[in-house]
Each structure stands twice: as C-alpha cells, then as structure tokens.
C-alpha cells in the first residue's frame, strides 16, 4: 500500500476546484469552432492532399469559407452541398467550392437539408469506423509483442530529415528505448497548416506531417517485430493545428501525443481562446483512438524557480486533468507532466524532488505520469550531467512514474548523438535494476522533510486553485500565475481562426466523438 501524505478529502476538494475552473471555459468552447477543427473534419472525409504551391486543400477550402463568412455552418455542410449538386467525390467537391462563388450555392430546401445531413453523417461514420480499425491494428500489435514495465524509457530523435530520424530511432530502440519521440521542427506550432508529404529539411527537429508519421510508424513496426517488443511512437499535437495533427497521428497509429493548451499559450503565445477550443477537439480524438496524451507543466519551472513555483505545477495538473476528463480521456491516457528540476546546489535537493514526485503520484494514482529530466541547470560538464540525470532516474523508479523522458549528458550542448542515447539508456537500466523494490522496502517518515515538503506544495497548490476559481482561468493566465508568464485573452496568434457557431452548425465528427455510445479503442494489455 503506497504511503499517503495528503488527506483524500483535500485531493477531492482540489479536483472539485479544477472542475469549477474549467466550466466557464467550456461555455466558450461549446459555442465556437476554429479553422483547424473544420480542416480536421475535411481530413476525415479524405481531403488530405495539397494544391498549387503546396497549400493543403483543407486549408484552401476553409480559408475560402471563412472569407465568405459561412464557416459558422461547418465545413461538412458545404462539402455536402457540393456533393448534392453533382460533385463526384469529396476532392471534386472541394475543387468546385474553390472555383464557385459561395453565394451562388442555392439554399437547401428542408428536405434536401435532411438528406444532406444524413448523407454526411453516414460518410463520417464510415470514415471514423475505418480510423478505429486502424487504431485497433496498433493495439493488437502492442498486445502481441508486449511492452516493458514502468518507468518506460522515452528518448527523442530530431535530425530534421525523417529518413535520418528512422535510422536514429531504430538505433535507440536497439539500445533499449521503449518510446521514440520525433521532435517537431522549430516553431512549427506557429504554422496554421500541416505541411504535406515527407520532409527532409527541418530546423531543430522534423516537421510533423501525416506522411512522416506513416514512415516512422512503419519503420518502428518492423523494428518492433525484429526485437520482439513493441516500440511506441510520440509526436506533438499542439500549437495552431492541434486537432489536425491529432487526427493524422491517430490515422497513422501513433501511441502518444504531447497535447497541452497551457503550453501553447504560455510558451508559444498561441491565443488562449483558439487553443482551448482546439485542445478539446484534439483530446476527443485522442480519447476515442486510444492515444496517451502528455502535458507540459514541467515547463513552468524552467521559466520560474522550481522551488518557489512547485505548487503551480500541481495546480495546473489538476486543471489539465479536468480538461482531459471532460474530453473523455481515461486515467490510463493521462501522461501528466512534471519534472526533476531543482537547482542541484540546494542542500537535500533529492529529498525535495522526491517529495514532488511522490506528491504527484499520490494525487494522480491511476495516471501513467510523464517525468521529465533536468535541463535548466545543466552545463557543458557531461560527467556531472550524466550523474544529474541518474538522480532523476532514481526518483522515477522510486515513485512509480509511468513514462520517463531520459536526460542526455550533452543536453546543454547539442542535439543528442546516438552514443548519448546509448549512455542514457544503459544508465537508466542500471538504476531500474538497482532500485527495483525500493518503495516497498523504504518508508518515508510522516514527520520528516519529504512528507512536510509534499504537504506544503499541495497546500499552496490548493490555495492557487481556489484563487483561480475566483478570478477565472483566462484572467489568472493574464496575471502570470503559471510559469511567471502573462498572456491576454485576445492576444497571441490564431484568434482570427476562431468562429462562433451558427444555430444550425453541422459537425458530424464532433457528434460522433461526443456520442456516449462511441466505438472506442480498448485499453492495451499491460506489458
């Protein structure tokens, strides 16, 4: 039985406050759509190609509908109108809509309207069933080959060239990695479109495209069969294209997505109205297709002091959990993020970081949790860096983290080389063996420093949740309550892509995703 430091009623109170905090945000979400959501709907109908100059067809049509002031009815409605008027396929319908002035589309009669909506619902359901079937293939392969116990070892590749990424990912898997994350090209989160096709010239990472997802998943499936264990794949569903990337990732059978509106708001200056609406839709896709999301609270203590701001991480985790549950995600899909990031010069820093990790595990006992390595206080001293990372490995094993991003000895110097990953993986393997069972053998003193720190951080987090419940989440972000960064409700990038829904707004994909009888991908068997 795990030790408990916080009264269960207090944890329940924190959850109630988080639910209160997100309620006004959902009042906005339920009345709005976005350009990226409508593009995602078009992708469901098979609109995934690009036109002249590489502009994705989904972007071209949504931009056209928005400029005409009719996107509020939903892209699916207009696609259906074109099909009802003689278009031979969804792609042909897009072509007609791009060439025909929207005001020349005659209004549908009530009977035509019913026929249109029924036709588009049937097409959407068939396409969604195909999506679920693809995701079931992923689950079956995972169950056939199995995955290791926790913490699962998570490493990154980031060459800019998807074909080079494949070779590095295979090498990492051969060295013992359980999860491969393909880092996205620098600032891709600020692009209001998903690039089309395979890419070989990213900057600090590789562009997240559906074709790149397909290439990497196919390579890792092959390597999984060769190694006799399933290798999981992660990418980023954040920024201005959260729903589209979530759909592409689900279609190409990715296992995890970094998905967090707060990260985009604070660290990429994405407009909060836009990204809260997009986050809900993207998480509905993840919930239905069995994808694990990872959140980004760990970033708060890279811009704020990790000792003083520890409570902001925990408060945000409760808020993020509330958003996730409202979107239909189960506990096993919540890779809630936190980090080993205290200044190593602080006396007893390991005890304090252990307290934080134990607290997060106690607050979210059924979530896998994603534990991040230290980065902020790293230097060019690779020997110290490797030792510092091993401290995080110990804390991860001791506290039962589910997903651990391994630190690299060259973190402060350059993108990791294959040898850096090898050293990190072998070090983690040693720690996991050496510390196996320590939580069962060693009891934390209820009146000691670790327990006291855990209670202090929780109490401060609860006070912050109570404050945010009073002021509202968007106002609290404006007051720099998280990460010491202030953003405004109407500031940032992407607000022009937010559209208030018409009274007859039509989105058959949203209807499917919100249906309680939804077909979902079942939870994978444990490794």
Rounded to whole angstroms, the Cα distance separating 208 from 205 reads 9
Beta partners for residue 50, in sequence order: 56
Residue 32 has phi, psi (to 5 degrees) of: -135, 155
The reply to whether omega before 151 is within 30° of 0 (cis) is yes
Q: Tokens in use for 72? A: 């509020």
Residue 200 has phi, psi (to 5 degrees) of: -130, 10
Contacts for 73 with CB less than 8 Å, ≥ 6 apart: 502, 504, 505, 506
Q: What is the DSSP string of 247-294?
A: HHHHHTT-SEEE--HHHHHHHH-B-HHHHHHHHHHHHHHHHHHTPEEE
Rounded to whole angstroms, the Cα distance separating 36 from 247 reads 11
298 is catalytic: yes
From 96, 170, 370, 378, active-site residue: 370
280 is catalytic: no
Please state whether 46 falls in left (phi above 0), alpha (psi between -120 and 50) or beta.
left
Q: Of 69, 50, 43, 93, nearest to 241 (Cα)?
A: 43
Q: Tokens in use for 147? A: 């995955």
263 is catalytic: yes
Three-class HEC string of 143-169: HHHCCCCCCEEEEEECCCCHHHHHHHH
CB 210 within 8 A of CB 248: yes
Residue 500: its H or E element: strand 498-500
Q: Of 11, 30, 5, nearest to 326 (Cα)?
A: 30
From 263, 388, 432, 505, active-site residue: 263
Rounded to whole angstroms, the Cα distance separating 349 from 326 reads 36
Q: Of 375, 430, 363, 423, nearest to 399 (Cα)?
A: 363
Query: What is the distance between the terminal CA atoms of the chain, rounded to a whole angstrom?
Result: 21
Residue 352 has phi, psi (to 5 degrees) of: -70, -40
Q: Helix or strand or coil: residue 186?
A: coil
From 48, 63, 278, 298, active-site residue: 298
The residues annotated as belonging to the active site are: 263, 298, 370
């Amino acid at each position: 039985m795990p030790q408990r430091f916080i009264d269960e009623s207090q944890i329940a109170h924190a959850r109630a406050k988080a639910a209160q905090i997100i309620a006004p945000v959902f009042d906005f979400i339920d009345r709005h759509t976005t350009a990226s959501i409508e593009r995602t709907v078009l992708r469901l109908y098979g609109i995934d190609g690009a036109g002249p100059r590489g502009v994705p067809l989904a972007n071209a049509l949504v931009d056209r509908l928005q400029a005409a002031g009719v996107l509020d009815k939903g892209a699916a409605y207009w696609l259906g109108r074109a099909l009802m008027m003689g278009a031979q396929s969804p792609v042909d319908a897009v072509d007609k809509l791009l060439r025909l002035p929207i005001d020349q589309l005659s209004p549908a009669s009530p009977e035509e309207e019913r026929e249109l909506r029924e036709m588009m619902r049937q097409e959407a359901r068939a396409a969604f069933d195909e999506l679920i079937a693809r995701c079931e293939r992923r689950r079956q392969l995972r169950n056939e080959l199995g995955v290791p116990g926790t913490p699962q070892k998570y490493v990154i590749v980031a060459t800019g060239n998807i074909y080079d990424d494949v070779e590095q990912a295979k090498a990492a898997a051969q060295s013992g990695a359980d999860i491969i994350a393909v880092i996205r090209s620098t600032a891709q989160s600020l692009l209001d479109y998903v690039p089309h096709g395979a890419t070989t010239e990213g900057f600090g990472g590789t562009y997240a495209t559906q074709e790149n997802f397909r290439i990497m998943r196919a390579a890792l499936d092959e390597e999984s069969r060769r190694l006799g264990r399933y290798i999981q794949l992660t990418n980023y569903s954040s920024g201005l294209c959260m729903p589209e990337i979530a759909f592409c990732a689900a279609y190409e059978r990715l296992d995890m997505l970094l998905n967090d509106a707060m990260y985009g708001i604070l660290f990429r200056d994405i407009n909060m109205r836009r990204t809260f609406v997009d986050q809900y839709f993207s998480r509905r896709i993840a919930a239905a297709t069995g994808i694990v999301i990872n959140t980004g609270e760990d970033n708060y203590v890279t811009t704020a002091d990790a000792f003083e701001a520890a409570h902001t991480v925990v408060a945000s985790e409760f808020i993020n959990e509330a958003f996730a549950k409202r979107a239909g995600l189960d506990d096993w899909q919540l890779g809630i993020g936190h980090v080993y990031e205290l200044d190593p010069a602080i006396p007893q820093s390991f005890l304090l970081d252990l307290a934080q990790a134990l607290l997060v595990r106690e607050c979210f006992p059924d979530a896998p949790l994603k534990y991040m390595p230290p980065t902020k206080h790293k230097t060019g001293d690779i020997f110290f860096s490797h030792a510092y990372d091993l401290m995080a490995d110990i804390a991860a094993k001791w506290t039962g983290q589910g997903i651990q991003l391994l630190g690299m000895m060259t973190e402060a110097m350059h993108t990791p080389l294959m040898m850096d990953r090898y050293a990190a993986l072998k070090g983690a393997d040693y720690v996991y063996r050496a510390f196996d069972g320590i939580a069962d053998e060693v009891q934390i003193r209820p009146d000691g420093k670790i327990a006291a720190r855990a209670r202090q951080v929780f109490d401060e987090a609860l006070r912050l949740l109570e404050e945010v419940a009073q002021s509202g989440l968007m106002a609290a972000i404006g007051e720099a309550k998280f990460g010491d960064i202030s953003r405004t409700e109407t500031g940032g990038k992407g607000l022009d892509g937010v559209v208030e829904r018409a009274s007859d707004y039509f989105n058959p994909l949203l209807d499917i995703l919100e249906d309680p009888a939804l077909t979902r991908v079942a939870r994978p068997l444990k490794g």
